Structure 1
């Protein structure tokens, strides 16, 4: 998803992408700095709170690619040390071969319907801060009574926000609200991403930066310029960050009143708030179980 267009445009540049949980990526970046052995050119992760820290500690190389002026300046570092590359969102996903789209759960309370008992799969909120913020916002509206009723539905709890898609695809469960999916799926694809009309859905500006000690700085700048090009933004799986690019059939992300990318950034910067809520979620749901779903070998260093 991240490299296909870039590799087609620049076939002579070898590119390697490591997909992992953001809370592991950020630790890896910090540990490489401590060892003085950076092997990474570009990082874009969910943990938006890391970028001001990395800038403060001199880990980032400022660069302003073409197209950056079309990105909301509230999500662009004034020195160009980091900036939003695309938008991710978590909300309802169903396989329409199992649940027709018009019958799929849309609002948070829909997941309490009797017919969905034993058919829901969800990412542990205390294992993913974006899902954690999503739960915080839903609970702020519906209360912890909603969470208790949700738990009575016997949801399957998994690690990673891509895992529910695999579980739904296998037929083991039928619905989730803690995953992303293509806004406009390919022809023949039966999975659908369904936004709520009233309740909160989680969206944030996925932030990226070039590391100061990038082994291939010229290629890194080329990659960042590609990511913010109109071509790449138009091909976004979900929303672009450029305000002059629109996805057919969908409003720009800042026109949805039931999501809060700025609120998520504030949440991520308040680590005491995050840790307190993690503890509450673990008390309700139980400890996170399972291996890292990405399968990344963390002993590579």
Structure 2
């Protein structure tokens, strides 16, 4: 898989000579008019948008702060929760009217495919779309991926001498009671993974059943999984890769293995709800997320970017070096609920 993606103001100084006071006032008035025109042309009109997101709070706070340097007139109200809670909230809001958010930044393309099919999203093609990896851009223009987030095998380097290098290896009895992984009822990435694994011929239900037989600990989300591996509570984890990089950079004894069969990944798409009343501000936020500046911030936050002109996080492999599982999105969308139910049946 190839990883492809001021406000100007002028101020005239006034001459304080008493004899030119009227001229000075006139010039000052012209300068003020010029400033107003320049500001209006360079920034989005003042607005407030509501963002639903599964991004970690500190990371989305940094994103909003960087966006507001460019668009200081746009207030972004953030509601942050796991993808499962977000989708439940959206469903509840739909029963009584419209979705109360303007923008959704969460989970995987399968979730957005469902919302697209239900006519809940507004079509919008971001600025500079040709710089983005085409694999993360909805060809119909209803959503766009904002980062590449593979799920991998993490291991504690003080407890595991030879790490597993495949998904199949995790079903070996040697790993019984040593594995932890996130709950797909809470984590959107985990729900997507369950559907991908069950629809991958070399894995499927037999593999998932064998993994369940090894009695893995099911954590609420990816964060607790990575922490459990870093502390040695569970020496093996199935988790998104950026958390491993962050903990390793902070000095934790943790490292990552990319399974030979390939890794599922989510692209943390962003989309605008059709019911938004703040279209311009919502589009400006989407543009920022996939812009060079927005993607440089994503790299700083340890994510693999969706464009190829901003580098990659330190210690991260090139996307060409990672085997990727990329099943048909419609199949994943259609089978997701059944996959989560099957996971719950096997691992409860």
Structure 1 residue 90, shift from structure 2 partner: 1.0
Q: Contact 1:131 / 1:178 at 8 angstroms: preserved in 2?
A: no
**Counterpart position of 1:135:** 197
Give the structure-2-normalised TM-score.
Answer: 0.66
Q: Contact 1:180 / 1:193 at 8 angstroms: preserved in 2?
A: no
Query: Structure 1 residues 123 and 231, CA, compared in 2 at 3 Å: closer, same or farther?
Result: same
Query: Structure 1 residues 22 and 191, CA, compared in 2 at 3 Å: closer, same or farther?
Result: farther
**Counterpart position of 2:120:** 59
Is 1:246 matched up with 2:311?
yes
Indicate which of 239, 262, 266 corresponds to 1:204: 266
Is 1:177 matched up with 2:242?
no
Alpha-carbon distance in structure 1 between the residues aligned to 2:243 and 2:226: 12
**Counterpart position of 2:329:** 265
Query: Structure 1 residues 275 and 143, CA, compared in 2 at 3 Å: closer, same or farther?
Result: closer
The 3-state SS of whatever aligns with 2:331 is helix
**Counterpart position of 2:152:** 91
Structure 1 residue 159, shift from structure 2 partner: 2.9
Give the greater-gyration-radius structure (CA): 2
Structure 1 residue 156, shift from structure 2 partner: 1.1
**Counterpart position of 1:77:** 138
Alpha-carbon distance in structure 1 between the residues aligned to 2:155 and 2:203: 23
Query: Structure 1 residues 49 and 155, CA, compared in 2 at 3 Å: closer, same or farther?
Result: closer
**Counterpart position of 1:298:** none
Give the structure-1-normalised TM-score.
Answer: 0.75
**Counterpart position of 2:39:** none
Which has the bigger relative contact order, CA under 8 A and spacing at least 6?
Answer: 1
**Counterpart position of 1:292:** none
Q: Contact 1:202 / 1:259 at 8 angstroms: preserved in 2?
A: yes
**Counterpart position of 1:189:** 251
Is 1:2 matched up with 2:60?
yes
Matches within 5 A, 1:120-131: 120-124=179-183, 128-131=190-193
**Counterpart position of 2:76:** 15
Q: Contact 2:153 / 2:259 at 8 angstroms: preserved in 1?
A: no
Contiguous gaps of at least 5 residues in structure 2: 1-58
Alpha-carbon distance in structure 2 between the residues aligned to 1:229 and 1:161: 27
Contiguous gaps of at least 5 residues in structure 1: 287-301
Q: Contact 2:223 / 2:243 at 8 angstroms: preserved in 1?
A: no
**Counterpart position of 2:46:** none
Indicate which of 26, 32, 36 corresponds to 2:97: 36
The 3-state SS of whatever aligns with 2:307 is coil
**Counterpart position of 2:170:** 111
Q: Contact 2:101 / 2:273 at 8 angstroms: preserved in 1?
A: yes
Structure 1 residue 228, shift from structure 2 partner: 0.6
Q: Contact 2:181 / 2:216 at 8 angstroms: preserved in 1?
A: yes
CA RMSD of aligned residues (A): 3.4
Structure 1 residue 121, shift from structure 2 partner: 1.0
Query: Structure 1 residues 77 and 118, CA, compared in 2 at 3 Å: closer, same or farther?
Result: closer
Matches within 5 A, 1:201-240: 201-236=263-298, 237-240=302-305
Q: Determine which structure has the larger helix proportion and give its number.
A: 2
Q: Contact 1:120 / 1:175 at 8 angstroms: preserved in 2?
A: yes
